[in-house]
Chains A and B, each alone.
Chain A
Amino acid sequence: MRRRRLLQAGLALAIVALLAVAVVGLLTARPGTPDRAYELEQRLRCPVCKSVSIAESPSETAEAMRAVVADQVAAGRSDQEIIDYFRARYGDWVLLDPPASGSTLALWMLPVAAVVIGGAVLVLLRRRPPQDESLTSEERDQVRRAVEQARSRVDDEVTP
Chain B
Amino acid sequence: MTVLTPAAGWVGILLGLAGSFVLSVFGFRAQRRPSAVRRSQLRFAVGCMVGGAVLAMTALEVALLTDNFAMSYVAETHSRATPLFFTITSAWSALGGSIVLWALVLAGYTAAVLRQVRSTDDRLGTGALAVLGLVSIFFFGLVSTVANPFKILPNPPADGPGPNPILADHVMVAFHPPLLYLGFVGFTVPFAFAMSALLLRKGGVEWLRRTRRANLVAWSFLTAGLVLGAWWSYEVLGWGGYWAWDPVENAALIPWLVATAFIHSAVVQVKRGMLQAWNFVLVIATFALTILGTFLTRSGVVASVHSFTESGVGPAFLGFLVLVLAVGFTLFALRGERVASLARPESLASREGVFLANNLLLTLFAFVVLSGTLYPIVVEALTGDQVSVGRPFFDRMAVPLSFALLLAMGVGPFTPYRHASLGVLWTRLRVPLLLASAAAAAVVLLGGISSPGVVAVTGIAVAIVAASMRQLVVTAPKPRHKGVPRVLRGQRAYWGGQLAHIGVAVVAVVIAVSGALATRATVIVDRGQSVEFARYTLTFERSEEHAQPDRLIRDAHIVFRADGEVAWTAEPRLNRFNNQTQAVGQPAVWSGPTRDIYVALAQLGDDQVSLNLYRYPLMAWLWVGGALAAAGGFWALSGRTRRPAAENTAEPVMADA
Binding site for B on A (CB under 8 A): 8, 11-12, 14-16, 18-19, 21-22, 25-26, 29-32, 38, 42-43, 45, 49-53, 56-58, 60, 63, 91-98, 103-104, 106-107, 110-111, 114-115, 118, 122, 125-126, 130-131
Contact = CB atoms under 8 A, between A and B. Distances in A.
B383 A103 contact: yes
- Identify the 7 closest CB pairs spanning chains A and B, nearest first: A96-B390, A97-B392, A29-B450, A25-B444, A18-B437, A22-B440, A93-B386
Nearest to B390: A96
A15 B440 CA distance: 11
Contact of A25 (B238, B445, B603): B445
A125 B276 CA distance: 14
Contacts of B459: 22
Contacts of B445: 21, 25
A15 B441 contact: no
Given A26-B450, A51-B390, A58-B612, A115 B372 contact: no
B441 A25 contact: yes
A30 B448 CA distance: 10
A98 B437 CA distance: 37
B157 interface: no
Interface residues of B, number: 50
A90 B278 CA distance: 44
Contact of B388 (A19, A38, A94, A118): A94
B375 interface: yes
A92 B386 contact: yes
Pick the most buried of A22, A104, A111: most chain B CB atoms within 10 A of its CB.
Answer: A22
Nearest to A55: B520
Interface stretch (B68-76, B78-86, B239-247, B316-324): B239-247
Interface stretch (B28-36, B96-104, B360-368): B360-368
A25 B5 CA distance: 70
B387 interface: yes
A151 to B, nearest CB: 18
Nearest to B364: A114
B444 A26 contact: yes
B438 interface: yes
A63 B247 contact: no
B387 A103 contact: yes
B605 to A, nearest CB: 13
A31 B449 CA distance: 10
B391 A96 contact: yes
Nearest to B249: A51
B143 interface: no
Given A11-B434, A111-B364, A50 B344 contact: no
B585 A130 contact: no
Contacts of A16: 437
Given A31-B450, A96-B388, A130-B342, A21 B585 contact: no
Contact of B245 (A15, A38, A51, A91): A51
B368 A26 contact: no
B590 interface: no
Contact of B392 (A8, A43, A110): A43
Contact of A98 (B247, B342, B388, B450): B388
A104 B375 contact: yes
Contacts, number: 136
Pick the most buried of A8, A45, A98, A114: most chain B CB atoms within 10 A of its CB.
Answer: A98
Given A11-B434, A18-B438, A21-B444, A118 B364 contact: yes
18 contacts: A14-B437, A15-B430, A19-B440, A29-B444, A29-B450, A45-B388, A51-B247, A53-B391, A58-B239, A60-B603, A91-B386, A103-B379, A104-B379, A107-B393, A111-B367, A111-B371, A114-B367, A118-B364
B64 interface: no
A51 B342 contact: no
Contact of B387 (A30, A50, A98): A98
A108 B247 CA distance: 18
Q: Is the interface of A mostly helix, strand, loop or mixed?
A: helix
A56 B239 contact: yes
B244 to A, nearest CB: 5
Contact of B344 (A18, A25, A32, A126): A126
A15 B368 CA distance: 35
Contacts of B247: 51
Interface string B356-398: 0000100010011001100100010001011111111100010
A126 B274 CA distance: 13
Nearest to A92: B387
B2 to A, nearest CB: 37
Given A43-B392, A114-B368, 14 more contacts: A14-B434, A14-B437, A19-B437, A22-B437, A22-B440, A22-B443, A51-B388, A58-B600, A60-B603, A96-B393, A97-B393, A98-B389, A130-B342, A130-B344
B296 to A, nearest CB: 13
B257 to A, nearest CB: 14
A31 B450 CA distance: 7
A122 B420 CA distance: 21
Nearest to B443: A22
B601 A92 contact: no
Contacts of B520: 38
A56 B443 CA distance: 29
B127 to A, nearest CB: 28
A57 B239 contact: yes
Interface string B569-606: 00000000000000001000000000000001111000
B387 A104 contact: yes
Contacts of B392: 42-43, 96-97
Contact of A11 (B371, B372, B430): B430
Contacts of B375: 98, 104, 106-107, 110
A157 to B, nearest CB: 23
Contacts of B379: 103-104
A51 B450 contact: no
B388 A21 contact: no
A94 to B, nearest CB: 7
Contacts of A22: 437, 440-441, 443-444, 455, 459
B180 interface: no
B485 interface: no
Contacts of A93: 386-388
A11 B437 CA distance: 11
A145 B397 CA distance: 53
Pick the most buried of B367, B388, B441, B452: most chain A CB atoms within 10 A of its CB.
Answer: B388
A123 to B, nearest CB: 12
B230 to A, nearest CB: 14
Nearest to B438: A18
A52 B364 contact: no
Contacts of A63: 602
Nearest to A18: B437
A8 B430 CA distance: 9
A107 B245 contact: no
Contacts of A43: 392
Contacts of A29: 444, 450
Nearest to B239: A56
B293 to A, nearest CB: 16
